[in-house]
Amino acid sequence: MRTLEHPSPADFDLDAVLSALADPVRRMIVCQLADGHQDQACIAFALPVGKSTSTHHFRVLREAGIIEQRYQGTAILNSLRAADLDTRFPGLLAAVLASARGPVSPR
Amino acid sequence: MRTLEHPSPADFDLDAVLSALADPVRRMIVCQLADGHQDQACIAFALPVGKSTSTHHFRVLREAGIIEQRYQGTAILNSLRAADLDTRFPGLLAAVLASARGPVSPR
DNA sequence: CCGTTTGTACGAACACCTTCGTACTACGAC
DNA sequence: GTCGTAGTACGAAGGTGTTCGTACAAACGG
C-alpha cells in the first residue's frame, strides 16, 4: 500500500500555509472540501487546470498540512485537516474560508 | 504635496491580501505595526533587506489595502488598516497576527 | 492477463517575485 | 541656494511557481 507524507501540527509553517492559501486554485480545493467534498478523489474537484497541475496543487496543500490524503485503490481520498490547523493557527482557516465565500453574503 | 493611491475596502482582493501576508518580510512589517510602530517612517522598521526592496514591500502592502501611507515631509507615516481589513475579511488579520507571534507562547 | 482508472514523474516554457545597486526626486533645515 | 534625509524609478540577476504534455506506475475489475 502506498502512503503519503504528512507534517505533524508542530511542524506546520505559517509561511507554507499562507503561500498555499494564496493561490486561487488551491483555495478552490479548500473551499470545495469545506463545502462537503470530504473524502473525494482529486478528480472529483472542479478545477480549471490540467491533471498534472492538479496533482501539484494537492501536494502543496498536503505538505503544508492543510489536507490529508489517503490512498484507496488507485484513487486518493482528500480531507481537510481543519482541527490540526486550528490548534496551530487558531481561526486562520475559518477566516480564509469566510473571506473566500464572497464579499458579504449574509444570505 | 505627494499623495499615494489606496484601494477602498470594497476593492480589497483576497488574493492580493494573502499573497502580501505570505511573504516573511512583509509579515515583519505588519507585526511591527501591530506592536505599536504605528505612524513610523519606513526607515524605522527593522528589516533584513535593502532600501529599495523595503520600498517594494511597503508598496505591496499598501496596494493590497493592508497599510496606509501618508507623506509627512520627506518621510512616510505607515499605519495598519486593521478596521478596513476587518470589515472585508473579518478575523483574517487577527488570525495571521496571532499565528505569526510564534507557536504557542502564553507568555 | 489485460485494460481502465487514478494519480505521479519529468522536463520545458513562461511568468512572476525578491533582491540589489545606482541614479534620481521631493522636502525640510541651515 | 545648498545640503542631508527619505523614499522612488529603473534595470538586471536569480530564484521560484504555475502550467502543460507525455510517459509511467499502482490498484482494481473482468
Per-residue HEC secondary structure of chain A comes to: CCCCCCCCHHHCCHHHHHHHHCCHHHHHHHHHHHCCCCCECHHHCCCCCCHHHHHHHHHHHHHHCCEEEEEECCEEEEEECHHHHHHHCCCHHHHHHHHHCCCCCCC
Do the Cβ atoms of A15 and B21 come within 8 Å? no
Average pLDDT over residues B89-104: 90
Phi-psi map region of A33: left, alpha, beta (phi>0 left; psi -120 to 50 alpha): alpha
Give yes or no for residue A106 having a pLDDT over 60.
Answer: no
Does residue B63 or residue A1 have the better pLDDT?
B63
User: Does residue B107 fall inside a structural domain?
Assistant: no
Closest-CA residue of A relative to B20 is: A22
B2 inside domain: no
| Mean pLDDT for chain B overall | 94
- pLDDT given for residue A98 in this prediction: 97
Domain count, chain A: 1
Residues of A in contact with B92 (CB under 8 A): 95-96, 99
Q: Which residues contact A35 (CB under 8 A, 6 or more apart)?
A: none
pLDDT for the residue numbered B105:
42
Whether residue A107 is contained in a domain is answered as no
Query: Is position A95 within any domain?
Result: yes
What pLDDT score does B101 carry? Answer: 87
Question: Which of A10, A92, A100 minimises the CB distance to B95?
Answer: A92
Q: What is the pLDDT of residue A43?
A: 96
- The whole-angstrom separation of Cα B104 and Cα A97 is 23
The mean pLDDT value for A43-71 works out to 97
pLDDT of B37 reads 86
Across all strands, nucleotide nearest A24 (CA–C1'):
D18
- B105 domain residue, yes or no: no
Q: Among A14, A25, A88, which would you mutate to test the B interface (most chain B Cβ atoms within 10 Å of its Cβ)?
A: A14
Work out the pLDDT band at A58, boundaries 50, 70, 90.
Answer: very high
Q: How far apart are CA A22 and CA A98, in angstroms?
A: 14
What is the pLDDT confidence band of residue A107, given thresholds at 50, 70 and 90? very low
Residues B3-55: pLDDT tens digits? 899 999 999 999 999 999 999 999 999 999 999 889 999 999 999 999 999 99
Query: Does residue B3 sit within a domain?
Result: no
For B46, the domain range is 12-98
pLDDT 10s digits, A3-45:
899 999 999 999 999 999 999 999 999 999 999 889 999 999 9
pLDDT tens for each residue of A76-104: 999 999 999 999 999 999 999 999 986 55
Minimum distance, in Å, between the CA of residue B72 and any CA atom of chain A? 33
pLDDT at A105 over 70: no
CATH number, position A41: 1.10.10.10
Any domain includes B7: no
